[in-house]
Amino acid sequence: MLDGCTPWPEEFAERYRVAGHWRDETLGELLGRLARTHSYKTALVAGTDRWSYAELDTRADRLAAGLDWLGIGPGDRVVVQLPNTAELVALLFALFRIGAQPVLALPAHRSSEITYFCEFTEAVAYVIPDVHMAFDYRELAADVAARVPTLKHVLVAGDPGGFTALGDVRGDPVDLPRPDPAEVALFLLSGGTTGVPKLVPRAHQEWSYSGRAVAEACDYGEETVHLVSLPLTHNWPLTHGLLATFHAGGTLVLAPGPSPDETFPIIERERVTETGLIPGAALLWMEAAEWDEYDLSSLRRVTIGGTKLQPELARRVEPALGCRLQQAFGMAEGLCGFHRWDDPEDVVLVSQGLPVSPDDEVRVVDEDDHDVPPGEVGQLLARGPYTVRGYYRAPEHNDRTFTADGFYRTGDLVRLLPSGHIVFEGRVKDQINRGAEKIAAEEVENQLLAHPGIREVALVGLPDEVLGERICACVVPRGTPPTLAELSLFLRGRGVAAFKFPDRLEIVHELPLTPLGKVSKKTLTALLISSGAPLSSSLIGSGAAAPSSFVKDA
């Protein structure tokens, strides 16, 4: 176990091994096994690349040999910042094979984040595209390399500039020492919205199990064709897309982004059966499907997650896209849940899924860590065979974020249905405290989404001398924007308590997004506080003055 990572107590490790969750197989070996079983089956389609399992296996082997030749070895950290390409998949498996540990950055990260990842993990290598979305990553790499002395290699997919071309890093397969399956395979970034991102160390055996458990929960098989259009270096697309699909011997298809333009032609061509979307992208798909001519009939199911899908929107998914809706929730730290195929419709519309492993343990607790009565709202705590026991090198944060007996405090407010399905009610931090009345932002957002003049909405609390916080509704309108008075009337008509009505309304062109495309309430709040002028004046109109954080860039 790597320095700075929290080990599982032996009694848990033993239990997970006996249950068959943890197996004596590294992720590199998993690919080797798949290549033997499904040799000529198409594993991966990305752009013009179409690789069988055997070809992916060979490419990973040759790349591993090249990395080994460069001196990258077991336990070395490698910051990987590649878009959705076949090369990225080959690189991940090559690193798994040599026991080097990818630190998965998102294409939208820039120098402050990348420098932090490289310094904090003492990375020896950094892998980038040359130019992606009109951004030259080689300039970024030059900046980072000048500041991080441990960084020995910058590998570039494409034109290397002054660095090393990733395409040249290969050699004849060599015998490499086998990593321990209990060892860290990769580092994911925590989805936390405060402070510096925390690194989540995921071991070969537990992370591999999370993909197998997802494949089982989603009934994946060889016929599965899963499209990933969100950044693959994020945990959800990685487990639900790459790992689950590969465990089942299916085909993984990568798209550069989730817009209908980028995905619909691929769905038609590759006969995609499954995909994961965040609600904002799902909304675009539903709108485009009305008039677009592409054949989406191969879609068996669309999975929506990452941020709450409001029941108002959920209801529209199946009629609009002509396939089943599945909701999913999850986190880089581990725990994830999906609906099962035979879950009743009312459960699928209102809940976010059921944990995927029989050994997932969830608790819903109050502020004093006492279990709340069944069905009531509290913070979700999670422990289990693929939920980590701590962040990398963060002992103080770990003390706060994990209970003494190893439960992860998710920061999510949930309630459990009698069936065990989890219903998201908001984040602990996504609560507005208005005159000591607590308001779950998502509850009011869901109500407001039913308003015909509202396309998207985010509720944030703004500091107020008298009440502590006041409620601000930031609305992306559909047609003529509503007024604040209309919203109050509307909420009143739906029987919502008056203390939940917004005090302020901001009509905006779009909501600021995190790199994965979730609404960034942190950015939104900061912008509202810092802007003396109404937010709408800087966001509506030509867009030229829109702050860069309002532009979705990944």
Binding site for ligand AMP (CB under 6 A): 190-191, 235-236, 305-308, 327-332, 352, 410, 412, 424, 427
Complex with ligand AMP: residue 306 or 406, whichever CB lies closer: 306
* Shortest CB 407 distance to ligand AMP, Å: 14
Q: Give least dist CB 411 to ligand AMP, A.
A: 6
How far apart, in Å, are the Cα atoms of 97 and each of 27, 39, 171, 175? 7, 18, 14, 10
State both tokens at 28.
């590199």
Could you tell me the sign of the dihedral formed by the alpha carbons of 523, 528, 530, 531, in that order? Answer: positive
**CB of 169 or CB of 457, closer to ligand AMP:** 457
| CB nearer to ligand AMP: pick between 85 and 307 | 307
Q: How many CB atoms lie within 10 A of CB 73?
A: 14
Question: How many C-beta atoms lie closer than 10 Å to residue 430's C-beta?
Answer: 23
CA angle 106, 110, 116 (to 5 degrees): 90
One-letter identity of residue 427: R
Q: Where are the alpha helices (DSSP H) in 122-167?
A: 137-147
CB closer to ligand AMP out of 410 and 447: 410
Burial code of 249-273, b = ≥16 C-beta within 10 A, e = fewer? Answer: bbbbbbbbbbebeebbebbbebebb
| Least distance from ligand AMP to the Cβ atom of residue 382, Å | 9
The secondary structure of 473-506 as a DSSP string is EEEEESSSPPPHHHHHHHHHHTT--GGGS-SEEE
Q: Which two tokens stand for residue 220?
A: 């994946």
Least distance from ligand AMP to the Cβ atom of residue 51, Å: 27
- The DSSP H or E segment spanning 96 is helix 86-98
Q: Which is nearer to ligand AMP, 220 or 408 (CB)?
A: 408
Contact 297, 279 (CB under 8 A): no
Could you tell me the two tokens for 545? 């003055």
Nearer to ligand AMP by Cβ, of 65 and 336: the residue is 336
Q: Give the nearest residue (CB) to ligand AMP.
A: 191
Provide, rounded to whole angstroms, the least separation between the CB of residue 182 and ligand AMP.
Answer: 23
E-strand spans in 130-270? 131-132, 135-136, 153-157, 164-165, 184-189, 199-203, 225-228, 251-254
Task: Give the burial class of 50: count Cβ atoms within 10 A of its Cβ; 0-12 exposed, 13-18 middle, 19 or more buried.
Answer: middle
User: Rg of the chain over CA atoms, in angstroms?
Assistant: 23
356-386 burial: b if 16+ Cβ within 10 Å, else e: bbebbbbbbbeeeeeeeeeeebbbbbbbbbb
Q: How far is the CB of 457 from ligand AMP (least distance, A)?
A: 15
Shortest distance, position 156 Cβ to ligand AMP, whole Å: 27
Q: Which is nearer to ligand AMP, 227 or 314 (CB)?
A: 314
Q: How far is the CB of 396 from ligand AMP (least distance, A)?
A: 20
Min dist CB 94 to ligand AMP, Å, is 25
Which residue, 131 or 286, has its beta carbon nearer to ligand AMP? 286
Please report, for residues 27, 51, 322, the alpha-carbon distance to residue 41 in angstroms, rounded to integers and kept in the order given.
19, 8, 28
Which C-beta is closer to ligand AMP: that of 441 or that of 507? 441
Q: In the complex, what is the shortest distance from the CB of residue 136 to ligand AMP, in angstroms, rounded to a whole number?
A: 27
Which C-beta is closer to ligand AMP: that of 306 or that of 512?
306
